Amino acid sequence: MMDLVRTTKRRLMWFFAVLTMLFLLLFVVAAYLTVSQSVMKEKEDELMAMLSDKSLSRLIHEAEEPHEKPFNHNLFAIVGTSGNILEKQGDGIEAMIDGWTPNILETKEVDQDNREYLLAGKPVRGGGYVYSGVDVTEQKRVLNRLFMVLLILTILFTFAATLLSFIMAGKAIRPIIKSAERQRDFVNDASHELRTPLSILSAGFEILEEEKDRLSDFSRQTVDDLSGEVRRMSSLVNDLLVLARADSGKLVLEKKVLNLTNLVSRSVRSFSRIVEVDGISLTTDLKEEVYLKGDEDRLQQLLYLLLDNAHKYNVQDGHVHVSLKETGSEVILTVEDGGIGIAQEHQDKIFERFFRVDLSRSRTHGSNGIGLSIAAFIVEAHNGKVLLESKVGQGSCFTVVLPGLSNEY
Ligand code: ADP
């Protein structure tokens, strides 16, 4: 539960941060483009106005005679019909316009000697071209500086936004955490409260079982049904309690070095009586003596959960096989059944809380979708992992891999 809350908080934080960054970037690009376009447009318009001067075309034909320079601009040039420069102003203008035959009022930017120029040109009626240009180095420098400042601001604001998102996500998630904690405490308290009456009921049914012979057939059947229900409820309440304790971090494992082979054979022995009633065979492969460091009660619970499932989801006259071995630094426990199997699409969900493949089995099989989430918790708390291989109609194999004594990872 807390993992889910933490993941949601992290997702919310990144969502806020990425969204803010995107908005900032969009703003920076839009601001830069608007400013740079309006600065350059102003320069372009200036050049265009000059080149549109009607008297210019005459100049080409009068260029041999002395006259005043037509522009106040840094650069200009008049090229005659034969391609010769008739009039010019500004160093390097020849190189800038060399080979450039502009269409009407075309512009281009030129880099020359570490300076940047904006040129405009147009053909003149009767032949030849006129060119005009301005030095825009300063404007470009200011625009570059503006871009750098905006970029640095974006980075700074992104950091600030990430921090703010972290705080905001924390605030947004707080009511959910509170409600989850209240729910967990409620489950914890309710399970505790229910344990006592359930134990009294179980004890009562045990006494009635001893007196079974004196009961009528109907009463005997009722006692059997009711004691079955009480057993089911007790196991559910215990499971809920384990989950609530695990969530609140109150479930402390008491790890010690233990003989897992003994534990498995003991559990299998007591379980075989239950499965045999349904004609299911239970075989083992426990040749090796395997030791590990773990919590005996929890490991026994893990085995019961897997065996219980192998029984519940088996078929008439099916089989269950349990094996235990040590390979290198790992202890490998498998519980395999020839039961109904689990479809591929459900395999990664079955360890989630309250997930059940077939909801209609919940009443008949005492299925509540908690068992495997507890199993996964126990395995994780022992720094191990559970693997599943299953095929519908063929059965399932749960493999628990735990660190051996030589490898306490
Ligand atoms: P429960 O068995 O109480 O429903 P679990 O968490 O133990 O809860 O199992 C979740 C679901 O996974 C079960 O409802 C069942 O659909 C499926 N499942 C678990 N073990 C097996 C198995 N050995 N064979 C087939 N299905 C299984």
The verdict on residue 85 lying in a domain is yes
Please give the structure tokens belonging to residue 173: 């998630």
Asked whether residue 260 falls in the same domain as residue 126, the answer is no
249-294 pLDDT, tens digit per residue, is 878 889 999 999 999 999 999 888 888 888 899 999 998 899 999 9
Asked whether residue 403 falls in the same domain as residue 260, the answer is yes
351-379 pLDDT, tens digit per residue, is 998 898 876 665 556 678 889 999 999 99
The verdict on residue 396 lying in a domain is yes
Q: How far, in Å, CA of 258 to CA of 397, rounded? A: 24
Q: Which residue has the higher pLDDT, 6 or 267?
A: 267
Please give the structure tokens belonging to residue 263: 């534990």
Q: pLDDT confidence of 409, banded at 50, 70, 90?
A: very low
Q: How far, in Å, CA of 191 to CA of 185, rounded? A: 10
Which residues line the pocket of ligand 1, CB cutoff 6 A? 309-310, 312-313, 337, 339-342, 350, 355-358, 367-373, 396
Count of Cβ atoms closer than 10 Å to residue 152 Cβ: 10
Residue 64 pLDDT more than 50?
Answer: no
- For residue 17, the CA-to-ligand 1 centroid distance in Å is 40
- For residue 280, the CA-to-ligand 1 centroid distance in Å is 18
Q: How far, in Å, CA of 122 to CA of 108, rounded? A: 12
Q: Which of 350, 387, 394 to mutate to test the pocket of ligand 1 (most atoms within 8 A of CB)?
A: 350
Q: Atom 7, ligand 1: which residue's CA is nearest?
A: 371
Q: Which residue has the higher pLDDT, 339 or 84?
A: 339
What per-residue confidence (pLDDT) applies to 126?
A: 76
- For residue 345, the CA-to-ligand 1 centroid distance in Å is 14
Q: Which residue has the tokens 């299998």?
A: 268
Sheet holding 75-79, edge to edge: 85-89, 75-79, 129-135, 115-123, 106-112
Q: Which residue has the tokens 């306490």?
A: 408
The verdict on residue 368 lying in a domain is yes
Asked whether residue 140 falls in the same domain as residue 260, the answer is no
Number of domains present in the structure of the chain? 2
Domain span at residue 400 reads 256-408
Q: Atom 20, ligand 1: which residue's CA is nearest?
A: 309
Q: Atom 8, ligand 1: which residue's CA is nearest?
A: 369
The verdict on residue 261 lying in a domain is yes
Instruction: Give the mean model confidence (pLDDT) for residues 167-181.
Output: 84
* Average pLDDT score, the chain: 86
Please give the structure tokens belonging to residue 202: 């179980």
* Closest ligand 1 atom, residue 341 Cα: 25
CATH number, domain containing residue 40: 3.30.450
What per-residue confidence (pLDDT) applies to 290?
A: 94
Q: Atom 16, ligand 1: which residue's CA is nearest?
A: 357
Where a domain ends, among 144, 160, 189? 144
The verdict on residue 260 lying in a domain is yes
The verdict on residue 153 lying in a domain is no
Q: Which residues of 271-291 are buried (b: 16+ CB within 10 A; e: fewer)?
A: bbeebeeeebebebebeeebb
CATH number, domain containing residue 291: 3.30.565.10
Where a domain ends, among 112, 144, 176? 144
Q: Which residue has the higher pLDDT, 193 or 125?
A: 193
Give the three-class secondary structure for 397. strand
The verdict on residue 228 lying in a domain is no
Nearest Cα neighbor of 354 from 343, 365, 368, 367 is 368
Which residues lie below 8 Å from residue 328, measured CB to CB, with a gap of 6+?
Answer: 404, 407
The verdict on residue 164 lying in a domain is no
Where a domain ends, among 84, 109, 144? 144
Asked whether residue 268 falls in the same domain as residue 139, the answer is no
Sheet holding 395-403, edge to edge: 281-285, 319-327, 330-337, 395-403, 385-391
Q: Atom 12, ligand 1: which residue's CA is nearest?
A: 350
- For residue 383, the CA-to-ligand 1 centroid distance in Å is 23
The values of phi and psi at residue 338, to 5°, are: -105, 45
Q: Which of 235, 348, 362, 372 to mutate to test the pocket of ligand 1 (most atoms within 8 A of CB)?
A: 372
